[in-house]
Amino acid sequence: MSNPLHVAFMERDSLDTHEDLAWLIADISISFMDMNHNGIDAKIGAVLGVISDAVGVDWCGVFQFSRDGRHVYKSHASDGARIRMPSEMRDTEAHWFSEKLRYLCREEIPRGGTLSPDNVHERRFMETLGFASGFIVPLKASEVPLGFLCCGDEQRADGSLSEIEETFLGIVAKMIANVLEHRRASDSLASSEEKMQRLIERLGEDYFFYRHDTKGIFTYVSDSVRNVLGYEPEEFLGHFSKYLTDSPVNAKAKQSTWLSIKGIRQAPYEVEVIRKDGKIVTLEVQEISVEYEEGKVITVEGIAHDITERKKYEVLIRRQKEELERMVKERTAKLNRMNEALVLKINQYEEAKKKIDLLVGELEVILDSVPAAIFYKDLHHRFIRVNASFAKFFGRPKEFYKGKTYFDLGFGQYSAEEFTREDTWIMETGKAKRQTVSKVVVNNVPKWLVIDKIPYRDEKGDIIGIIGFALDISDFKNAEELIFSLNKKLTEAEEIERLRISRYLHDTVAQNLSSALIDCNILLDEYGEKFPGIVPKFSELSRILRRSVEQIRHLSYDLRPPHFEKMGISNAIYSFCQEFRGKYPIDVDFLSAGIEDIDLDFNLQVNLYRIVQEALNNVQRHAEAERVKIRLVASHPDIILRIEDDGKGFQVPVSFEEFLSRKCMGLQGMKERVRLYRGDLRIQSRPGGGTKIFVRIPVDSRGSRDTR
Amino acid sequence: MDDHPLFRLGLRSILARDEAYEIVGEAGTAAEAMKLARRYFPGFMIVDISLPDKNGIELTREVLRLLPDCKILIVSMHTKIFYVTEALRMGAMGYLIKESTSETLLKGLDAISKGRHFLDPSLSREVKENLEDTSGAPKMIDIAYKRLTKREQEVMRLVAEGFTTKEISERLFISIKTVDNHRANIMNKLGIHRTVELIRYAARIGLIDLDT
Domain ranges of chain B: 5-132, 145-205
Residue B209 has its nearest CB partner, among A421, A694, A704, at A694
CB A615 within 8 A of CB A670: yes
Q: The domain that contains A268 carries what CATH number?
A: 3.30.450.20
A643 or A110, greater pLDDT? A643
Distance from the Cα of B124 to chain A's closest Cα (Å) equals: 7
**B77:A511 CB<8 A:** yes
pLDDT number for residue B134: 46
Distance from the Cα of B8 to chain A's closest Cα (Å) equals: 8
The rounded distance, in Å, linking the Cα atoms of B90 and B74 is: 11
**A574:B138 CB<8 A:** yes
pLDDT number for residue A697: 93
CB B63 within 8 A of CB B37: yes
Is the pLDDT score of A140 beyond 70?
Answer: no
A181 at interface of B, judged by CB pairs closer than 8 A:
no
Residues of B in contact with A694 (CB under 8 A): 209
Residue A518 has its nearest CB partner, among B10, B207, B212, at B10
Same domain, A580 and A547: no
Same domain, A479 and A539: yes
Residue A329 lies in a domain: no
Same domain, A554 and A699: no
pLDDT band at A230; cut points 50, 70, 90? confident
Distance from the Cα of B131 to chain A's closest Cα (Å) equals: 13
* CB interface of A with B, residues 467-526, below 8 Å: 506-507, 510-519, 521-522, 525
CB A296 within 8 A of CB A219: no
Q: Please give the CATH superfamily to which domain B5-132 belongs.
A: Response regulator (3.40.50.2300)
Q: What is the pLDDT of residues A308-347, one digit of tens each?
A: 877 788 788 888 888 888 888 888 888 888 888 888 889 9
**A640:B207 CB<8 A:** yes
Q: What is the pLDDT of residues A616-632, one digit of tens each?
A: 988 998 888 999 999 99
The rounded distance, in Å, linking the Cα atoms of A257 and A366 is: 91
Helical ranges in A109-224 per DSSP H: 120-129, 161-202
Q: What is the pLDDT of residues A657-669, one digit of tens each?
A: 777 677 667 788 8
Q: What is the pLDDT of residues A18-46, one digit of tens each?
A: 555 555 666 666 665 555 555 556 666 66
Residue B206 has its nearest CB partner, among A567, A596, A640, at A640
The domain boundary, picked from A306, A340, A356, lies at: A306
For residue B140, which of B212, B204, B209, B207 has the smallest C-alpha distance? B204
Residue A40 lies in a domain: yes
> Is the alpha carbon torsion for A102, A107, A110, A114 positive or negative?
negative
Is the pLDDT score of A85 beyond 70?
Answer: no
Same domain, A174 and A225: no
Q: Which amino acid is at A357?
A: D
Residue A579 has its nearest CB partner, among B100, B126, B204, at B126
Q: The domain that contains A629 carries what CATH number?
A: 3.30.565.10
Overall average pLDDT of the A477-498 stretch: 85
Region of residue A142 (left: phi > 0; alpha: psi -120 to 50; beta: else):
left
pLDDT band at A468; cut points 50, 70, 90? very high
Same domain, A446 and A479: no
Same domain, A55 and A144: yes
Tell me the CA distances in angstroms from A502 to A496, A559, A560, A562, B204, one per residue in order.
Answer: 9, 6, 6, 8, 36
Same domain, A122 and A161: yes
pLDDT along chain B (212 residues), means of 10: 77 84 88 90 89 88 90 88 84 88 85 88 70 55 86 92 91 90 93 90 87 52
Please give the ipTM for the structure prediction.
0.77
Residue A315 lies in a domain: no
- List of E strands, chain B: 44-47, 71-76, 94-97, 118-119, 141-142
Distance from the Cα of A435 to chain B's closest Cα (Å) equals: 15
**A578:B130 CB<8 A:** yes
Q: What is the pLDDT of residues A92-103, one digit of tens each?
A: 666 666 666 666
For residue A234, which of A245, A251, A222 has the smallest C-alpha distance? A222
pLDDT number for residue B157: 92
> Is the alpha carbon torsion for B91, B94, B98, B102 positive or negative?
negative
Q: Of A415-419, A502-506, A631-635, A675-679, which has the strongest mean pLDDT?
A: A631-635
Close Cβ partners of A284 (under 8 Å, ≥ 6 residues apart): A268, A269, A270, A271, A304, A305, A307
Q: What percent of chain A has pLDDT over 90?
A: 9
**B154:A596 CB<8 A:** no
pLDDT number for residue B158: 93
A286 or A17, greater pLDDT? A286
Residue A170 lies in a domain: yes
The rounded distance, in Å, linking the Cα atoms of A699 and A679 is: 9
Residue B6 has its nearest CB partner, among A512, A595, A633, at A512
Close Cβ partners of A423 (under 8 Å, ≥ 6 residues apart): A377, A381, A453, A466
Instruction: Find the closest chain A residue to B156 by CA distance.
Output: A635
**B140:A590 CB<8 A:** yes
DSSP state of A651: P
Is the pLDDT score of A142 beyond 70?
Answer: no
pLDDT band at A157; cut points 50, 70, 90? low
pLDDT number for residue A23: 59
Close Cβ partners of A134 (under 8 Å, ≥ 6 residues apart): A57, A59, A114, A115, A126, A150, A151, A152, A153, A161
**B153:A634 CB<8 A:** yes
The domain boundary, picked from A410, A441, A472, lies at: A472
The rounded distance, in Å, linking the Cα atoms of A652 and A693 is: 11
pLDDT band at A75; cut points 50, 70, 90? low
CB B99 within 8 A of CB B10: no
Tell me the CA distances in angstroms from A481 to A604, B162, B198, one per residue in order.
Answer: 16, 35, 38
CB A464 within 8 A of CB A457: yes
The rounded distance, in Å, linking the Cα atoms of B130 and B82 is: 10
Region of residue B136 (left: phi > 0; alpha: psi -120 to 50; beta: else):
left
Residue A636 has its nearest CB partner, among B13, B146, B154, at B154
A452 or A189, greater pLDDT? A452
Instruction: Write the DSSP assignment of A86-121 as a string of letters.
Output: GGGS-HHHHHHHHHHHHHHHHH-PPTT--S-TT-HH
**In chain A, how many domains are there?**
5
Close Cβ partners of A57 (under 8 Å, ≥ 6 residues apart): A134, A151, A152, A153, A156, A161
Same domain, A556 and A574: no
What 3-state DSSP class applies to B115?
Answer: coil
Residues of B in contact with A697 (CB under 8 A): none
- A 10 A CB-CB count for A224 gives 19
Tell me the CA distances in angstroms from A239 to A77, A218, A242, A288, A296, one per residue in order.
Answer: 49, 6, 6, 17, 21
Calculate the average pLDDT of chain A: 78
Q: Just give the CATH number of B145-205.
A: 1.10.10.10
Same domain, A663 and A647: yes
**A563:B82 CB<8 A:** yes
Same domain, A99 and A226: no
Residue A212 lies in a domain: yes
| DSSP collapsed to 3 states, B131-189 | HHCCCCCCCCEECCHHHCCHHHHHHHHHHHCCCCHHHHHHHHCCCHHHHHHHHHHHHHH
Q: The domain that contains A181 carries what CATH number?
A: 3.30.450
Same domain, A271 and A171: no
The domain boundary, picked from A437, A472, A507, lies at: A472
Residue A364 lies in a domain: no
Same domain, A458 and A520: no
Residue A442: φ, ψ to 5° = -105, 120
CB A599 within 8 A of CB A705: yes
Residue A504 lies in a domain: yes
**B173:A684 CB<8 A:** no
Q: What is the residue range of A461's domain? A: 370-472
Residue A325 lies in a domain: no
